[in-house]
Amino acid sequence: MDGTAARHHATLMAVARGYQRSQALAVAAELGIADLLTEPRPVVDLAAATGTDAPALYRLLRALASIGVFHEDDEQRFSLTAMGRLLRRDHPWSIDPAVRMFCADYQWRAWGELGYSVRTGGNALVHTLGTDVWEHRRRDPAQGELFDAAMRTMATSYAPGVLAAHDFGKYAVVADIGGGTGAMLTAILAAHPHLHGILAEQPEVLPRAARQLAAAGVADRARLVECDFFDEVPTGADAYVMLRVLHDWPDDAAAQILRRVRAATAPTARLLVIDAVVGPPNEDPQTAFLDLMMLVSAGGRERTEPEWRDLLASAGFRVGTIVPAGPGRSVIEAVPD
Ligand SMILES: C[S@@+](CC[C@H](N)C(=O)[O-])C[C@H]1O[C@@H](n2cnc3c(N)ncnc32)[C@H](O)[C@@H]1O
């Protein structure tokens, strides 16, 4: 085998074994290892603190150290790398809930049926669990809470890019539709002290959102509204944010949501869709695999720029600017037509 073929062989082998890294990271997250590494610690301490088998835990941590999550010193003590620090649960961008959510049992089972989705175009999660992902999380509140926490820390990490991409200072009232527990709304309100906000969400999410907005000190400027965005969206905002909402839905459902938003939107108001815009072929695996995730779990899709223009036009919006706001996400400004 020549050098190039050997490199390709190694790359494909790493892809084929990718689930081993996912699961190793998930187990370390479940055990809360990162929170225990306030200083370099020997594995026997970590095993005692987590109730695990020390030799097996050593093998897990050695594997994760080999890919840069932890650092092992000459005396087999482990510490956090700069990357590993993102696993700490107190980090504002903590990746811990996302790791545990993406590797939760229901996700493994749905992804195990990716072939079903590819053969039929159907939703593997519905095929596997007999219910859609939102109903599944409703029935399992711990998973619902974990999903909200994952969305929250991811949205917190996106906020600087979104605030740089769009001037929210020109508005008086910003509504976040399907805004989760309010991480993006919090960042917008914190950056613009004159602004008021509306957070529209499903009823089970609102108590968690209320706690988060209060903890962030912006609750006095935020109104929480119970909302099913297929039925009705609150009026009274001059900007409507939809962050990672429309990609969850196929075109017909996304168009219905957008028609509800359009009905609530005054002629001078703006809709700000923050989602991926699929680019040219052979690029951007982050967006391409996010799209596969939508196929398998939520049932939605990522969209190209022409697809976004068509979808928004079908609900009475014209696309204004599209401004990149970070890897795999853009602010698509839409104007009522
Ligand atoms: C992928 S999450 C994005 C959350 C938030 N915008 C963010 O990016 O962090 C989609 C959100 O849509 C909300 N949602 C789903 N179905 C809904 C419905 N019918 N009405 C209102 N919100 C809904 C979910 O509760 C969830 O918070």
Q: State the DSSP H helix or E strand holding residue 272, giving kind and residue range, or none if neither.
A: strand 270-275
Mean pLDDT over all residues of the chain? Answer: 97
pLDDT at residue 2 in the model: 87
Cβ–Cβ under 8 Å, residues 188 and 212: no
pLDDT at residue 118 in the model: 98
Tokens 């195990």 found at:
112
Pocket probe mutation, ligand 1, options 94, 158, 202, max atoms within 8 Å of Cβ: 202
Instruction: Give the Cα separation of 214 and 208 in Å (integer).
Output: 10
Cα of 176 from ligand 1 centre, angstroms:
10
End-to-end CA distance of the chain, in Å?
60
Cβ–Cβ under 8 Å, residues 291 and 120: no
Question: Which residues line ligand 1 at a C-beta cut-off of 6 Å?
Answer: 134, 151, 155, 178-180, 183, 201-202, 205, 227-230, 243-245, 248
Ligand 1 atom at minimal distance to the Cα of residue 183: 9
Q: Give the three-state DSSP class for 65.
A: helix
Q: Give the three-state DSSP class for 41.
A: strand
Instruction: Give the Cα separation of 308 and 306 in Å (integer).
Output: 5
> What Å distances lie between residue 334 and 169, 254, 270, 317, CA to CA?
17, 15, 6, 6
Per-residue pLDDT band at 279 (split at 50, 70, 90): very high
Backbone angles phi, psi at 124, to 5 degrees: -65, -35
Give the model confidence (pLDDT) of 190-214 as tens digits.
999 999 999 999 999 999 999 999 9
* Residue nearest atom 13 of ligand 1, based on CA coordinates: 178
The domains located in the chain, with CATH, are 3-90 (1.10.10.10), 92-145 (no CATH), 146-336 (3.40.50.150)
Give the model confidence (pLDDT) of 209-263 as tens digits.
999 999 999 999 999 999 999 999 999 999 999 999 999 999 999 999 999 999 9
| 194 catalytically annotated | no
Cα of 61 from ligand 1 centre, angstroms:
35
